[in-house]
Structure 1
Amino acid sequence: MMKWTLFTPELFYVAMAAVFFVGSLQRRVDSRRLYRWAVVLAGVGLAVTVACTRLEGFLFFDSYKVDLFSQFFKVLIALGTFFVVLVCSELYGIDPRKHAEFYFLLSVCTLAMMMLVSAVELLTIYIALELSSYSLYLMVPMRHRADAYVESGVKYFMVGATASAMMIFGLSYLFGMTHTTYVAEIVRVLPHLLHQPAVLVGLVLTLAGFFFKQALFPFHVWAPDVYQGAANQVTTYIATASKMAAAAMVIRFVALTTGHSETLIQLLMVLSVLSMTFGNLVAIIQKDIKRLLAYSSIAHAGYMLVGILCMTQRGYAGAVYYAMAYLIMNFACFMVIIKVADDGHNLQIKELAGLHKRSPLLAMTLMLALFGLAGIPPTLGFTGKFLVFAAALEKGYLLLVVIGMINATISLYYYLIVIKAAYLLEPVREYPPVRVDTWTRILSIVLVIAMIYVGIFPDRFVALSEAAVAVLP
């Protein structure tokens, strides 16, 4: 008999998706009512996920593993979903007739990503990844009156389908060489087969599917156009919650090698350096803030990979902490974008001019978030970079750390451009006032406190990250 309580968070999001599916069948849709339902259900979903953090066990013939690692990332995914739903009160970027479908796809994607981080069988992993991907493929083109950005949805689908094909090809190699689809068995067999090229090719092609979700160079080509082309709330979801599932799976699959493959380590080093350097250099010339954050995400995927490629418990823990920090900082940036561009248009950096006068709280939230992304103390972004770089130094990767620190310095330049616009530039024309409701004000204060507190007192969160990765091989 299966222990269905282990599947409680996923079952809740199945029910949540069902609620909005029924809502999508209604002839007349009340957007405000849908929003209230979404906030309540997303909040309850987060509470349910947190309550199930300590559960452990297997489901579905041992193809589904519930442990602290998977549950920790489920909490991050649920938190990201809740944050995104909170900023959907003015969902101008999406046709009002499609609001129910938007919340439905959001619920299905969250469900799929939760299944992805618990899946420990190759076909289960692939199906969960595809379910999450196709939900996002449908959400991106939902933008209202944005014919100019239809191409971004097509590009996202085409590049994603290519990455999926590469991934299933890699999974077939792993199955062919190990004669099993269960991750636990692969862990036992794989270290003895890493000298065979077919195994390494299979592992790299499999990781390509997750690198695509992370927007790691050279699997990044979709990110700038999709960030720019999707509605602001959809971009926020892609940039926050969806990155958590990708990070979890990259960590899980790299951990399969148990540090026995020097070739894989060298390949990951090259990808990390290229991703950091390319993302930061191209971000410098961006005028659209969503495109800037897209290239920034490419660079941050490289930083996170620094911790993962160490293939040590400390490196994995640093990457987990970095993922949590990135979720909070990136959401803070996008929340400000959504509130300033309240009609759903794409925000240019110059439109932030005078933001400190129009909304001091949002300006401070944006400044702290960008300082965190740049790795300035005492923010949690600094602690995240410190942890992954410390793990790399412990392994003797001094050159990699130096390159990472140089890239962090480069990134400070374009983050300061945005802060300069918000605090020092005077608007060339009169911009409308920024409406900040009570919930946005509360959320901004919570984010500001979190970005400072977790950065100054990281011990408890680092310990939680270390406990989460302790279950890995």
Structure 2
Amino acid sequence: MNSIILLSLLTVINLFAGFSKNKNLSFILSFIGIAASAILLGILWNGNDVTNILAPNFINHMLSFDNTTIVFGVLLCVNASLIVLLLHSHEEPMDIPAAEFLTLVLTMLVGALCMVSYTNLTMLFLGLEILSISAYILAGAKKRDYRSNEAALKYYLMGAFTTGVFLFGVALIYGATGSFDVTEIAKYAALPNPQSIYYVGIILLMIAFAFKIAAAPFHFWTPDVYTGAPTLVTALMSTLIKTAAIVAFYRLFNTCFAGATNWSMILMIMAAITMFIGNVTAIVQTNVKRMLAYSSIAHSGYLLFALFALGNNSGASLLVYMAGYTFASILAFAGIIVVQHNMHSNDLNAFNGLGKRNPILAVCITIAMLSLAGIPPLAGFFGKFYIFTNALKADYVAISLWAVLMSCVGVYYYLRIVINMFFKSAEPDAKEFILPASYQIVMGICLCLVVLLGVAPGILSGLI
């Protein structure tokens, strides 16, 4: 709870920091605040709540900071801090001041922490809206770019629709159970014959979550929003928002429906369709941001494995997968921003000959693509390995084989970028790329973590 309070106060302070003549003040405050929040979360490990300035009764036990919450909360803090570092030397022009951008990032982090720690659907809704409203604004950060405006409008309209669906589902569940508390909902779910409105409510919640993680058939907003939004915002959407949404989805189903096979079948079908649409459509894309948008859709399909194949290791598998995906995605998008700034294009051909112009940048992007493709010994491989293994243990053989097949399809479009960088010639007047200092730091950190988690995934899997 302390971490949420600290970040909430920091969002207000950061707005006033924008008036300071010291342009680095808001960055310093943001980075220190995020680091302090991660430390405050770590102090709560194994139920140590001595430092909480607010007793659980103050919020009626609507938030729970167990070890699962803490680990994912720290991952979210690391994610946000890397985005803050990238913004410091950001090369893509945006029409909002850095202090306002940072305030919105911190606000998103507050919402994300609420989403991964909720025990009450009311708190889940508040976290979801805090996160979403900030994301709508950031998607339109390039006010003079019609594509950014289009992305913000589409994201807002679909988000508003999803909010309505979510609230309708919550209302039906409350009508059936008489409670917003997930523990009470779980008790009701265990009864022999729940009311039909309860089932309708759960389906509506599934639709809302499917929208947030970009799972088919509720993924259609993703390509346009990811392509039109500033690339740094796209990185934030594909990592922080996806992590918060999938963990919230996981907490709900792990608490309430761990033994419900009927929900597992729905999620399995959704996962199969999502993997197919994401991977197959990505093959024909020539815009790299759009390609990674469909890649993100495909990864949502893999993440659904942690929900329909719930088991003792589901949380650990989800953690390894999301950590590997987060760091590889930030590494990839950082590279895309540099290429976009120098080539003024996100087209696949803009990466031609990058291996000669800037070998270090090309290697970083290559490692990111191989990890996203699930190639060993990188973090992405073990993320998929753990999730698929859990599914096989639960006797989901057919869908596991389908997922492996789709992963093989995914390798093709990731390697297209690698081939262009190393096996195609650049234009004669192409210049050498220079990496800003903050980009070197972020890409170095992400590169090390992707390799480290691939060599020693037990570092994370043993935490939950």
TM-score category (smaller protein): over 0.9
1:13 equivalent among 7, 12, 34: 7
- Give the 5 Å matches for 1:266-415: 266-342=265-341, 347-415=346-414
**Considering only aligned residues, what root-mean-square deviation do their CA atoms show, in Å?**
2.1
Q: Deviations over 1:21-54 (max 9, x none)?
A: 2135x3x876555445444444444444444444
Asked if structure 1 preserves the Cα contact closer than 8 Å seen for 2:92 and 2:337, the reply is: no
- Give the 5 Å matches for 1:52-67: 52-55=44-47, 58-59=56-57, 60-67=59-66
Q: State the alpha-carbon separation in 2 of the partners of residues 147 and 458 from structure 1.
A: 43
CA shift in 2, pair 1:97/1:128, >3 Å: closer
Matched, 1:240 2:239: yes
Q: State the alpha-carbon separation in 2 of the partners of residues 447 and 309 from structure 1.
A: 30
* 1:405 alignment partner, SS class: helix
Q: Name the amino acid aligned to 2:462.
A: A
Q: State the alpha-carbon separation in 2 of the partners of residues 170 and 45 from structure 1.
A: 32
Corresponding residue of 2:430: 431
Q: State the alpha-carbon separation in 2 of the partners of residues 52 and 17 from structure 1.
A: 23
Q: State the alpha-carbon separation in 2 of the partners of residues 53 and 346 from structure 1.
A: 45
Q: Name the amino acid aligned to 1:171.
A: V
The Cα of 1:208 is off from its aligned counterpart by: 2.0
Q: State the alpha-carbon separation in 2 of the partners of residues 198 and 228 from structure 1.
A: 38
Q: State the alpha-carbon separation in 2 of the partners of residues 257 and 45 from structure 1.
A: 29
Q: State the alpha-carbon separation in 2 of the partners of residues 66 and 334 from structure 1.
A: 31
Q: Name the amino acid aligned to 1:12.
A: L
Q: State the alpha-carbon separation in 2 of the partners of residues 334 and 63 from structure 1.
A: 35
Q: State the alpha-carbon separation in 2 of the partners of residues 342 and 85 from structure 1.
A: 18
Q: State the alpha-carbon separation in 2 of the partners of residues 342 and 282 from structure 1.
A: 26
Asked if structure 1 preserves the Cα contact closer than 8 Å seen for 2:324 and 2:383, the reply is: yes
CA shift in 2, pair 1:434/1:145, >3 Å: farther
* 1:342 alignment partner, SS class: helix
CA shift in 2, pair 1:329/1:148, >3 Å: closer
Asked if structure 1 preserves the Cα contact closer than 8 Å seen for 2:328 and 2:447, the reply is: no
* 2:88 alignment partner, SS class: coil
Q: State the alpha-carbon separation in 2 of the partners of residues 343 and 295 from structure 1.
A: 24
CA shift in 2, pair 1:307/1:152, >3 Å: same
Q: Deviations over 1:312-343 (max 9, x none)?
A: 12233312321121111111111111222237
Asked if structure 1 preserves the Cα contact closer than 8 Å seen for 2:278 and 2:298, the reply is: yes
The Cα of 1:267 is off from its aligned counterpart by: 0.5
Q: State the alpha-carbon separation in 1 of the partners of residues 435 and 90 from structure 2.
A: 15
- Give the 5 Å matches for 1:151-190: 151-190=150-189
Q: State the alpha-carbon separation in 2 of the partners of residues 425 and 193 from structure 1.
A: 63
CA shift in 2, pair 1:95/1:372, >3 Å: closer
The Cα of 1:300 is off from its aligned counterpart by: 0.4
Corresponding residue of 2:211: 212
The Cα of 1:195 is off from its aligned counterpart by: 5.6
Q: Deviations over 1:400-428 (max 9, x none)?
A: 01100000000000001011111111113
CA shift in 2, pair 1:145/1:19, >3 Å: same
The Cα of 1:196 is off from its aligned counterpart by: 4.4
The Cα of 1:307 is off from its aligned counterpart by: 2.3
Normalised TM-score (structure 2): 0.93
Asked if structure 2 preserves the Cα contact closer than 8 Å seen for 1:232 and 1:344, the reply is: no
Corresponding residue of 2:447: 448
Q: Name the amino acid aligned to 2:373.
A: A
The Cα of 1:345 is off from its aligned counterpart by: 5.2
Q: Name the amino acid aligned to 1:117.
A: V
Q: Between the two proteins, what is the percent identity of the paired residues?
A: 25
How many pairs align?
Answer: 457
- Give the 5 Å matches for 1:40-189: 40-55=32-47, 58-59=56-57, 60-95=59-94, 98-189=97-188
Asked if structure 2 preserves the Cα contact closer than 8 Å seen for 1:74 and 1:114, the reply is: yes
Q: State the alpha-carbon separation in 2 of the partners of residues 343 and 39 from structure 1.
A: 28
1:22 equivalent among 16, 19, 26: 16
Q: Name the amino acid aligned to 2:417.
A: V
CA shift in 2, pair 1:360/1:37, >3 Å: farther
The Cα of 1:173 is off from its aligned counterpart by: 1.4
